[in-house]
Amino acid sequence: MSLSATVAPGLELAAGDRIVVGVVAVVALAALAIGFVLLREVLAAGQGTAKMQEIGRAVQEGATAYLNRQFRTLSIFVVIVFVLLFALPADDIGERIGRSIFFVIGAVFSASIGYLGMWLATRANIRVAAAAREEGGRDKATRIAFRTGGVVGMFTVGLGLFGAAVVVLVYAGQAPRVLEGFGFGAALLAMFMRVGGGIFTKAADVGADLVGKVEQGIPEDDPRNAATIADNVGDNVGDCAGMAADLFESYAVTLVAALILGTAAFGLQGLLFPLIVPAIGVLTAVIGVYITRTREGEGSLKAINRSFYISAVISAVLCVAAAFLYLPSSFADLVNPSDETVATLTADPRVIASVAVIIGIVLAGVILWLTGYFTGTEHKPVKDVGESSRTGAATVILSGISIGFESAVYTALVIAAAVYGAFLLSGSIVVSLFAVALAGTGLLTTVGVIVAMDTFGPVSDNAQGIAEMSGDVTGPGVEILTELDAVGNTTKAITKGIAIATAVLAATALFGSYRDAINTALRTAGVRIEDAGSGFFYEVFSPNTLVGVIIGASVVFMFSGLAVNAVTRAAGAIVFEVRRQFRENPGIMDYSVRPDYSRVVDICTRDSLRELATPGLLAIFAPIAVGFGLGVGPLAGYLAGAIATGTLMAVFLANSGGAWDNGKKLIEDGHHGGKGSPAHEATIIGDTVGDPFKDTAGPAINPLIKVMNLVSVLIAPAIVAFSVGADANPAVRLAIAAVAVLIIVAAVVVTKRRTTSIADTPAVDPVS
C-alpha cells in the first residue's frame, strides 16, 4: 500500500456529512458554555481574608504583565511565519490563504487558552486557600482547584474541536492541508509559552529556594523573601498558561494528523470520524470534572485518579459504539477512499477504529499509573529519594537521576507498544498510520480531565504559598494545603507524561503525512522516487539517513541545554537580587521593611523573554537546514532521531524533577528530621536541580517535537520542487539551507556571549 494517495481536493461533503460536522461544532460550543458555568462556580467561592486578597492581587498583576509583554514579543514571530507560510507551495490560492489564516487562528487560540489558564488560576488560588479554612475544607478546596482546571479543559476541547470542525465545513477535501497551518500555529505558540514561562517560573523558584530556605533558613513562601511573589507568578505563567497552551496544541496537532491520514485511509468517513471521537471526549470530560469528590478518609489524589479512570472507561465504550454506528463493516463500503487498494482489504474498519481508540485510552491510564508510581510520595522511588537525603545532596541528586533514567525506559516502551499495537491493526501502511493517529485522538478524549489535573497543581501550590505568606490559615487548613500541594506535584508529572505520549503518537502519524507530502510532490514533478537521487533515500542503513538521525537527536540535547542554561542565568540574577535586598535592608527579617517584590518580577520577565528566542529559532530552522541541505531522506531520519531522543529526554527530565520535588515534600512532612534538618537542606538542593528539568526543558520538548514535524510536512513539497523535475534549482535549495544554518549559529553564539544577568549586579559574598 502506497502512501502516495491523497483525497481529491474536490471531495465534497454531502448534506448528511455536514449535519455530522455541524453536530460536532455544536458539541464544541457546548463545551465552551460548560466552561463558562464552571468559571462562574469557581469565582463564586469565598476569597478569604484581606491579606490573602492583597497577595493574590500582586500575583495577578505580575502574571498579567508578563503574558502581555510575552504576547507582544511573540506577535512578531507570528507575522513573520504567516508571510513565510503563505510563500510555501499549495494546490491553489484558496488553500494557501486558508492555511496561513488558520495558522494565525491556531496561534490565537493557543494564546487564549494559555491566558485563560493564567487568569483563572490567579483568582482560584486564594479561593482554594480560603476553602481550606472551612469545615469540609479538603473536599471544597479539591473541588475548586480541580474545577478551575475543568474550565481550562472545556475551553481546550471546545476551541480545538470548533476550529477543526469549521475548517472541515469550509474546505472539505482540502481541510487536512489547511489544518496543517492551524496545528502549526497552536504548536509554535505553545512552545514559546512553554519555554518563556518555564524560564520565568524556575528562575524565581530556584532563586527563592537558594537564598530563602538554604541561606536564610526561612520557609519556602515566607513574605520576607523578595522572590516569593515572582515564584507564585511563575507557577501561573509556566504551569497554567504554558501547559494549557501545550495541551491545546497536542489536541489540535493530533486532530490534524488524524484528519490528514483519515482521508487517505478511510476516505470521507476518515475525515469525519476523528471529529466524532473528541466530541465524545467533551461529554466524558464533563463527567470527569463533576464527579471529582473526596470521600471520608480519602486523599485527593485517589479521588482525582478515580475520576480519570471512570471518564476513560466511558470514553472507550462510547467511542466503540460510535465506530460501529458510523463506519461501515467493509472497506469496500467506504465513501471515496483515496487509494483503490484500500477497498481490497478484508478487515473491518469498525474494529480497527475501535481498537485503535481503546489503545490510546489505555495508554493514558497506564502512563497515569506509571508516572504516579515514580513521582508519588507514597511509593518506593520517592521514599528512596527521601532516604538518600540522610547522606547529603549528592546522593539525593543521584537517586533522582536514576529514577528519571529508569522511568523513561518504561514509559518509552509503553508508548512504543501502543504505537506498534496500533500499527499492527492493518496490513496497509496508510491505514496503520491512521490507526496510530486514532490512538492519539483516543488518548485525548481524556484531555479535559488531563488539563484539570495539570492546573490543579499550580493552583494548589499558589494556595499554599498565599496561606503561608498571609499567616491566615492554621491548623487542619495547613495540612490540607500541604497535601494538595504534594498531590499537585504528582498530577503535574502525570500530565507531562501524557503530553509527551500525545506528542509521540501525533509525530508518528505526521511522519506518514510527511512521506505523503513528498510522494505527492514527486508525482507533480513527474519523477519516481527511485530516480530522485540519494537525498530521497529513507533506509535506516543509508549513511545520509543515519546522519539525519544523529542531528535530530542532537537538536533535542541542544534545545534542553539552552533551556536549562537560560534558567541558570536568570536564577543567578534572582539570587544576587534577593541577597542584595537582605543585605541592604536588615529590617526585612523582622518584618519592619517590605521586600521589593516587583524588582524580582521585572528581572524574571526581562530574562525569560530575552532567552526564549534561541530555542524557538532552533526548532524552526533546524529541519529547514537539514531538509534543504541534505534532502528529504535525511530529514526523515532527523525526525526519527528527534522523536526517539525527545521521548526519553522529556520523561527523564519530568520524572527526575517530580521525584526530587516530592522527596522534599516527604521530608517536610516530618520524615528524616523534617524541616530545617540536614536532610531537608539536601532535598532542597535536589529540588532546585529538578526545577528546570521538570518545568522548563522537559515540558518544552513536547511541542518541540511537533513543531519540527509540522515544519517538515510544510516544507517537504518545496524541498522536492527545488531538488527534482523541471523547477529543480540546487543553488537556491542550498542557499536556503545556508541561511537557516547561519540563523541557528548566530542565535546560539549570541546566547553564549550574552553576559549573564548576574553581571548586572555587583558580586557579593552571600554571608557578608
- Residue 763's pLDDT is 41
Confidence of residue 5 (pLDDT cuts 50, 70, 90): very low
Rounded to whole angstroms, the Cα distance separating 362 from 446 reads 11
H helix runs in 44-136, sequence order: 50-87, 93-132
Residue 293 has what DSSP assignment?
A: -
All residues at 6 or more sequence positions from 88 whose CB lies less than 8 Å from its CB, including other chains: 96, 714, 715, 717, 718
328-332, 487-491, 528-532, 557-561: segment of lowest average pLDDT:
528-532
334-360 tens-digit pLDDT: 776 655 455 556 778 899 999 999 999
**Terminal C-alpha separation, the chain:** 73
Confidence of residue 765 (pLDDT cuts 50, 70, 90): very low
Nearest one of 320, 345, 341, 319 to 331, comparing CA atoms: 345
Q: Does 307 have pLDDT greater than 70?
A: yes
Q: Which residue is it, cell 507498544?
A: 417
Rounded to whole angstroms, the Cα distance separating 502 from 456 reads 20
Nearest one of 717, 715, 337 to 520, comparing CA atoms: 717
Q: Does 7 have pLDDT greater than 70?
A: no
- Residue 604's pLDDT is 84
- Residue 538's pLDDT is 62
Q: Where are the domains of the chain?
A: 22-291+307-561+613-752
670-710 tens-digit pLDDT: 888 888 788 888 988 888 888 889 888 888 888 888 889 88
- Residue 767's pLDDT is 36
What's the maximum distance between 2 C-alpha atoms anywhere in the chain?
82
Grid coordinates given for 360: 490510546
CB-based contacts of 407-410 (< 8 A; 24+ apart in sequence): 407/370, 407/371, 407/374, 407/381, 407/651, 407/652, 407/655, 408/647, 408/648, 408/649, 408/651, 408/652, 408/655, 409/648, 410/370
218-234 tens-digit pLDDT: 877 778 888 888 887 87
Confidence of residue 648 (pLDDT cuts 50, 70, 90): very high
Centre a 10 Å sphere on the Cβ of residue 572 and count the other Cβ atoms it contains. Answer: 20
59-113 tens-digit pLDDT: 888 888 888 888 888 888 888 888 888 887 666 787 788 888 989 998 999 889 8
H helix runs in 298-392, sequence order: 300-326, 349-375, 380-388
614-632 tens-digit pLDDT: 888 898 899 999 999 998 8
Rounded to whole angstroms, the Cα distance separating 542 from 556 reads 22
245-254, 304-313, 342-351, 618-627: segment of lowest average pLDDT:
342-351
Rounded to whole angstroms, the Cα distance separating 256 from 260 reads 6
Q: Residue 84 to residues 46, 698, 706: CA-CA distances in angstroms? A: 49, 29, 18
- Residue 420's pLDDT is 92
% of residues, the chain, pLDDT over 70? 90
Centre a 10 Å sphere on the Cβ of residue 86 and count the other Cβ atoms it contains. Answer: 16
- Residue 760's pLDDT is 47
- Asked whether the CA dihedral 77, 80, 83, 87 is positive or negative, the reply is negative
Give the global pTM: 0.83
